[in-house]
Amino acid sequence: MQNGIRQEAGSYGKYLSGTVQGMPYSGIRKFFDLIAQTEGIISLGIGEPDYATPGVIKDACVEALNNNFTKYTSNCGMPELRSAIAVYLHDRLDLHYQESDILITVGVSEAVDLAFRAIINPGDEILIGEPCYVSYEPCVTLAGGKPVLVTTKAEDEFRLRKKHLITRITERTKAILLSYPNNPTGAIMRRADLEEIAQVAEAYDLLVISDEAYAELTYDTEHVSIANIPGMKDRTIILNGFSKMFAMTGWRLGFAAGPEELIDAMLKIHQYTMLCAPSISQQAVLHGLTNGYGFIREMVGDYNRRRRLLVDGLREIGLPCFEPQGAFYAFPSIKHTGMSSAEFSERLLFEDKVAVVPGDAFGESGEGFIRCCYATSRDRLEEALERIDTFVRRYKLPKAATINI
Ligand SMILES: Cc1ncc(COP(=O)(O)O)c(C=O)c1O
């Protein structure tokens, strides 16, 4: 007993928010708990660059620390960094924003949360392409909204299509969440695909929240932001950050760019809940944006070679694999094995010690697929492919009819 509350499971139920109690843990988290208990694993599980943050960025951080740059910054972030991000968006993505249109956040994660909380009234609906990154659905729910999931399909190269979107629109629909390059599928949206989405947004007067966390990681073609489609800049909030761009996942730095009034609404929440993003990370990224592009080029070239190795290897093993063109994931189908995604992933983990993430961790429509991250060394990828091959042979799984989907 402590303060009269019994210390046993469930004792705090009556104190907890019903919304939080009704919320499942992330399927990825559950899987990582399993991985942590197993030795000798090759992990294609975690979605994180295996690179170290570039030296220029680390040096800038050390200098900032030595200069005691350890205080709060302005709520919206350092003005120099907001300006540097405006220059970055202009130079790399042909987007035109002012410093006042940009808010520095604690990773893209905070920006996702802020965007939903800034626009959602109770019951408002947000359209979300699925399979998708795990945060969107819970963040919409926590903001009091209703996530409306729109399935994307392998035969459509996992692009969000107008014909599927419009069937889910109601008078409560407020925004479309767009997430390309996509986690977990590796899909991208080309200009023509984005024009279709823009038509829907304009016809139904919707906002678009565009998570472009992997904008720098595309292979055969450059990333196009939906804010680049005529008429869309005024309806779009772009979310982006430095976790993937500069291999800075632990530094927690991202940003939102969009119409000043929307960014200002996000700032209202941010100023009360975060105060500001980490000052030393801001100072470090400022240097990255002026000196770090060479690193991005090198890293993307390397990911591209690993992508080829993994995707070709999976196809040779007999797992049909959609051609991923962005981020650092392959999303092969395991449907022909007769196993569920969870069963396949668990057996592969326990029997042959390769960690992948079951596709249903990214929503129901991910069932029948597994997510394999190729942000790991060539040697480990080769070893993982050998082990997956052994696993597939052991079960004498029928070779899939097609290698491409
Ligand atoms: C699509 C997508 N958005 C956002 C995030 C979170 O990024 P950050 O580390 O900037 O919070 C991730 C992380 O994997 C992601 O895959």
Q: pLDDT tens, 137-155? A: 999 999 999 999 999 999 9
Q: 386-389 contacts: CB < 8 A, separation 24 or more?
A: 387/42, 387/348, 387/352, 387/353, 387/354, 388/313, 388/314, 388/317, 388/319, 388/348, 388/352, 388/354, 389/317
Domain boundaries, the chain: 13-52+295-394, 71-292
Pocket of ligand 1 contains residue 324 by CB under 6 Å: no
Domain at 71-292, CATH from 3.40.640.10, 2.40.50.140, 3.90.1170.50, 1.10.10.60: 3.40.640.10
Pocket of ligand 1 contains residue 211 by CB under 6 Å: yes
Token reading at 102: 């940009």
Token reading at 55: 């030296």
Pocket of ligand 1 contains residue 133 by CB under 6 Å: yes
Contact 360, 15 (CB under 8 A): no
Pocket of ligand 1 contains residue 291 by CB under 6 Å: no
Judged against a pLDDT cut of 90, whether residue 128 lies above it is answered with yes
Percent of the residues in the chain that have a pLDDT greater than 90, as a whole number: 87
Beta strands in 97-220 (DSSP E): 102-105, 125-130, 146-151, 173-179, 207-211
Residue 1 banded pLDDT, cuts 50, 70, 90: very low
Considering the chain, what is the average pLDDT of its residues? 94
Give the number of the atom of ligand 1 that is nearest the alpha carbon of residue 133.
1
Residue 36 CA to ligand 1 center (angstroms) comes to 21
**CA contacts within 13 A on the Cβ side of 399:** 10
- Alpha-carbon separation of residue 334 from 14, 27, 32, 351, 398 (angstroms): 42, 18, 20, 17, 11
Distance (Å, whole) CA 280 – CA 81:
12
Q: pLDDT tens, 15-47? A: 999 999 999 888 777 777 777 777 899 999 888
Judged against a pLDDT cut of 80, whether residue 378 lies above it is answered with yes
Q: For residue 372, what are the β-bridge partners? A: 330
Residue among 350, 248, 260, 319 at smallest CA distance from 76:
260
Domain at 13-52+295-394, CATH from 3.40.30.10, 3.40.50.300, 3.90.1150.10, 2.30.30.100: 3.90.1150.10
DSSP assigned state of 120: P
pLDDT (average), residues 46-71:
95
- Residue 184 preceded by cis peptide, ω within 30: yes
Matching fold, domains 13-52+295-394 and 71-292: no
**CA contacts within 13 A on the Cβ side of 239:** 26
Residue 302 CA to ligand 1 center (angstroms) comes to 21
Burial of 9 (0-12, 13-18, 19+ CB in 10 A): exposed
